[in-house]
Amino acid sequence: MSDNKFKFSFQHDNGLYFVPICHYSMEFAEVIRQAVKEVQPDCIAIELPESLGEVYKTAVLRLPVISIILYQTSGETYYLPIEPTDPFSEAVRTAQEKEIPLEFIDLDVEGYPQHNDVLPDHYSITQIGYKEYVTTCTETVEISSDNRDRYMAYRINNLIDDNKKILVICGMFHYKPILRELQNAAMPFVKSAKKEEIRICDLHEESVREVSSEMPFLMSAYEAARDIEVYNSRIKEEEKKAKKVIDLSERLKSKKTEDVKTEIIPIEEKPESPKLHPDISKLIKKILSSFKGSVDLTDAELDPELWFPERMFKTEQQAKPKMNVRKFRMSSDRRSEILELIKTLHDKKTDQFLDRIRINYELIKQSEKFYFENTGEEIKKWQRRVLLKFSRNCALVTGRLVPSFFDLIVAARSVADDNYAYEFWDLGSYYPWFDDDSKYVKIKVSGDTLWQGTRKIRFRRKFPRKERLHKIIAKGRKNEKNPGDWERSFTDEYICSYPKEDIVLEKYGDFLKKKSINHLSDLNTKIEPFTTTLLDGVDMRTTVRNWFEKKLYVKEIKRVGGGADSVVVIFDEDPDDLKYPWKMTWLGEHNQESDMAFYSTSIYSKIVGPGVARCEHGGFALVYPPMRMFDVWSDPVYHIAKSKAEVLLLAALDYSLEKYVIYVAAKPPRSYFKTLAGRLGKKIHYIPIGQLSPQSLKQIRVFHILSTPAVRKYAKDFIW
């Protein structure tokens, strides 16, 4: 990269240095910091009205705590958020840290209307350079001057001094108009609006998640990268407050021993032991006196816990059995872990800038970890690839280089479920710094109030154990007299499946067969311009795509020869045979069920009820018609297979009566199997697992094993 690529100001005559910016952008906040370092100005002029100056400086001093400035003009209330990644906030903050004089040069107007400037993605600054970005934006659009531009030019002219360097920070589309108006030194005729009831408020934690212009996780990363030493000291102070550490050695040196004893030795009062009712004490004494050799006992010697069970002295609340209810951990429960994660992100800077693409990737990986901790479900590599590709396409459709926070959340829900999308949102919108002892009023503000075009998303989270289920499981566990009774009921001779899950699995197998045949038919469909016959109908897609030709296109559907009766679905190849060690071959119980071979988690890994085990498929094969499959895991013919997935594919090819075998996995099979299928007169149709619905895959991946067919009567009480 050239040295001139990252110059951060435009120098003009009379000691003026201009830094055009875009509001509420992390990249431009970093531009401000670098510009101040580069120019070392004697004064900083900011595009803000003077009436907000003192309040704005006070609010900026509270950073990283986010404030919001409220004021009224002509009876309407306006909100001005103060965020770490806002260029104006960064300019005022840096100026106060370096003790540089500040000038607020903008005109007070009735209100600042919201508008969306059509500009290239701010991330492009990190690739093409700041000056190239500003030149491209300002020279391609011609903007006329208004009263604000004239007033700011007048104020700048009054600040000009031969020996003074002035750094002017203004909006991107004010830069050129101000330059034109600098030649006119006369005071413009302008009318300023009066701002009333200007005050600072604290922004509620929930509002920060909703109204922040940048993703809160990104703002936290910027705060750490801005000054890592300050960030570390802030964390240490919080740890000290949380632990309340007292250095006794220092106190012992400065105080007398007797004084210290009274302070550091806590006196713990023992709770009074329960006492028996006087009538009960008399009754016990009377019973004891009837025995030979008995002695008289005092009331003090009558220990209630000796004569009566301990539970008789517990309150009703204490006597209730404690239920181990699983609680999903939130970002607030992982505060220290998130702070350490943010601490590592300051190293992920390219040149002068934080790379938001890398930060988004770290956010994705950490969300996967939290998702696994809460649900026990793992995001696969193919799902991550689909997420990145989907979010990238969403960004390109809207003319951006980097997906927005909303795009990433939608993509997370699309590749997994609402639980994963919620984990992503919970971490990405978590902001760690709030002032609990603040003297300012805390308010809630919605996104619709602050920004135009606010997009919303609703999460429909699923919890593995609801309150009803807690009671059922607790009741069931109570019937297990001895630990291990439920496990002992399992034998290989009588185990069976749960019929409702079999129906779901068979329906999904039929869906995959139809999907494959339809796809193969589409591949064989011939499309041509209409001449004499409509063939199998008009192809609307091709006709509309080539509308400029003024032709009608028709299609001829050529049905594929042969069908599909074998389906192989591979969730995880498990090459080490550690995660899914249990291998099984099942025969269909009737002519509407397929024979099935699968590998899964151990039958004893999750016993959820008497004779009910919860398992998870690593992969399975369905072959129809039933009652034909031998144990594929012990068949010597399949010794050429290098993995469990290949064993299932060999079995599907071997037992299939139709031409096509459906293979669903993260990656296609080896070319050897395509050759083998051809020799058998068959074809393997590969479907990437990422093309299928994650919700549907989740329904068929988890299944239950029952110890005997009799368990089917009550198994529903232990299955979720």
Q: pLDDT (tens digit, 9 = 90+) per residue, 462-490?
A: 655 433 434 444 444 445 555 555 665 66
Contact indicator for 304, 273 with CB cutoff of 8 Å: yes
Q: What residues contact residue 383 under an 8 Å CB cut-off, 6+ apart?
A: 415, 416, 690, 694
> Residue 624, exposed/middle/buried by CB under 10 A (0-12, 13-18, 19+)?
buried
Percent residues over pLDDT 70 in the chain: 78
- Higher-confidence residue: 326 or 144? 144
Model confidence at 74: pLDDT above 50: yes
With cut-offs at 50, 70 and 90, classify the pLDDT of residue 680: very high
Whole-angstrom distance between the N-terminal and C-terminal Cα of the chain?
A: 57
DSSP H helical segments within 99-170, as ranges? 125-128, 130-139, 147-159
Ramachandran area for residue 518 (φ above 0: left; ψ -120 to 50: alpha; else beta): alpha
What pLDDT score was predicted for residue 250?
45
Contact indicator for 57, 102 with CB cutoff of 8 Å: yes
Report the C-alpha gap between 160 and 175 in whole angstroms. Answer: 17
What pLDDT score was predicted for residue 94?
94
Contact indicator for 153, 184 with CB cutoff of 8 Å: yes
Q: Is 576 helix (H, G, I), strand (E, B) or coil?
A: coil
Mean of per-residue pLDDT scores for the chain: 81
Would you kindly state where each structural domain of the chain is located, as residue ranges?
A: 3-212, 486-524+560-718
Model confidence at 363: pLDDT above 90: yes
Model confidence at 112: pLDDT above 60: yes
Model confidence at 709: pLDDT above 70: yes
Buried b (16+ CB within 10 A) or exposed e, 394-430: bbeeeebbbbbbbbbbbbbbbbbbbbbbbbbbbbbbb
Q: Is 256 helix (H, G, I), strand (E, B) or coil?
A: coil
Buried b (16+ CB within 10 A) or exposed e, 292-306: eeeeeeeeeebebee
With cut-offs at 50, 70 and 90, classify the pLDDT of residue 14: confident
Lowest-pLDDT range of 77-91, 98-112, 581-595: 98-112
- Higher-confidence residue: 638 or 350? 638
Measured from the Cβ of residue 555, the count of other Cβ atoms closer than 10 Å reads: 19
Report the C-alpha gap between 338 and 341 in whole angstroms. Answer: 5
With cut-offs at 50, 70 and 90, classify the pLDDT of residue 684: very high
What pLDDT score was predicted for residue 378?
84
pTM over 0.75: no
Tens of pLDDT, residue by residue over 328-349, are 788 888 888 888 888 887 665 5
Tens of pLDDT, residue by residue over 654-669, are 999 999 999 999 999 9
Model confidence at 246: pLDDT above 70: no
Average pLDDT, integer, range 368-389:
88
